[in-house]
Amino acid sequence: MSRPSDVEEVSVKTQSRDTSRLPIPERGGAGGPANEHALVIALIPAHNEEKQIADAIRSLHEQEAPPNMIVVCADNCTDGTARVAEAAGASVFVTVGNEHKKAGALNQALDRLLPALRDEDSILVMDADSILVSTFLSEAQKHLRDGVGGVGGVFTGRSGGGFVGMLQRNEYARYARDVARLKGKVLVLTGTATLFSAQTLRHVVWARAEGVLPGRFPQVYDTNVLTEDNELTLALLHLGYKVVSPRGCRLTTEVMESWRDLYRQRLRWKRGALENLRDYGLTRVTARYWGRQILTLSGIVVTLAYLLSLTWSLAVDGAVHIHPIWLAVTCVFVAERFMTVRARGPLQMAIAATVVVEMSFDIFLQGVHAKAIWDALMRNERKW
C-alpha cells in the first residue's frame, strides 16, 4: 500500500490547533500496555450520556491492558456527561462549534492527538453505550499489526427493549456467529469499538488531502456522510489495509427500545451504506458490497412476491394456499432462523422457529432497506 513518508505531518483541519487541552501521558507509565514505548488512547464521543458513560469508562479501567488515557469527547451536552466522566477517571474534551455530530467530535479530538503520537501508538474509538470485556484491548493489540488497518469488536445486545430488544439481540447473535465462522473477517468496523494505529489514521488524513479518498477536508472521518464508521472502513480497504473483528474482542452495546427508534437507526445505517458506495463507485473493493446490495434487493423482490402470492390465494379462494416452491422457501427460512440463534438458548431457538415472529422482523428490515434505496435515489432530506 502507498504510505507517504511525511504522512505523520498531515493533521485534521478544525477550528483550533491547541493541543494543551489533551496532554499526552508519559510513556511506560504504570498500568499501560505491554510495550512501554507505545501509548493507547481511548476516545469516547458522547452526547448527553450521563446515565451510561461511567459504565463504558469502567470497562476500560478493568482491561487487562488498560489504555494510558481515556478521553470523553463531550459534544454539545446539556446534561452531566462531563461531570460523570471526570468522576469516573476520564479526561474530558469539550467540542467547539461542532455541527457534524459524532464524526465532527472525533475529528476535533484527533486533530489535537495525532500530531503528538508516534506511528506505533494506537487509538481506540468506542461508543458511550459500549461495555468491553476485560480482554478486548489486549486481544486487539495482538491483531493490530502491519497490514491490519483496524481491529473491531464483536458485539451483543444489552438487556431491555422488550420484544423489539429481544429481536435485536437475536440479530446480533447471528452477526457474532457469522464473524466467528469467517474467522474474524468483517465488512464493517462498527463504531461500537475499534482500535486503530496512529500511523493508519494519519494515512487516511493524507489520502483525503491528496484526493485519493472521498472527503471535503483532510480529516480522519468524512463529516458529509451518515455512516462515518462504514465510510472509514471503505477508506482503509481502498488504502490496502485489512479489517478484522477477532473472537476475543467482545462487547455489549445498547439496543433500540422502540420500533420507531429502530426504524430511524436502520434507515440511517442502510441509506448511509448506499451513499458511501455511491461516493466510492464500483471498484475492486466495493464490488462485493454492491453485490450484497443487489442480493438484498433480490430478497425484497422475493419477499414481495411471496406476500402477493399469499394475498392472491386468500382473495381468490378465501384460504391461503402455499405453492410447493414457497413452502420450501419457508422451511429453509425457519431452519436458518432456528439454527443461527443457538447461542441464545432453547427459548430463543423456539421463538425463532415460529414463522410469524422472525419473518415479520425480516419484512420490517427489508421495508426499511427499500425506503433507504428510495430516499437515496430521490435524494430526500437526510436525517440523523
pLDDT of amino acid 324: 81
Write the DSSP symbol of residue 40: E
- Helix or strand (DSSP H, E) at 243: strand 242-244
- The confidence score (pLDDT) of residue 326 equals 75
In 3D space, the residue among 370, 363, 372 whose CA is nearest the CA of residue 267 turns out to be: 372
Instruction: Please work out, in degrees rounded to the nearest 5, the angle formed at the alpha carbon of residue 95 by the alpha carbons of 229 and 10.
Output: 60
The position carrying cell 405453492 is 323
- Predicted confidence (pLDDT) at residue 76 exceeds the cutoff of 60: yes
Q: pLDDT tens digits, residue range 260-271?
A: 999 999 999 999
Please report, rounded to a whole number, the percentage of residues in the chain having pLDDT higher than 70. 90
Mind giving me the DSSP string for 41-90? EEEEEESS-TTTHHHHHHHHHTSSS--SEEEEEE-S--SSHHHHHHHTT-
- The pLDDT of residue 244 is 96
Mean pLDDT of 54-68: 97
d(CA 151, CA 314): 51
Helices (H) and strands (E) in the chain, counts: 12, 10
Question: What domains are there in the chain, each with its CATH number?
Answer: 7-257 (3.90.550.10), 287-378 (no CATH)
Q: What is the pLDDT of residue 85?
A: 97
Residue 223 CA to residue 233 CA, distance in Å, equals: 14
Q: What pLDDT score was predicted for residue 19?
A: 39
Beta bridge pairs of residue 242: 148
Which residues are paired to 252 by β-bridges? 131, 156
CA distance 298 to 280: 22
Q: Minimal CA–CA distance to 8: which of 178, 161, 202, 162?
A: 202
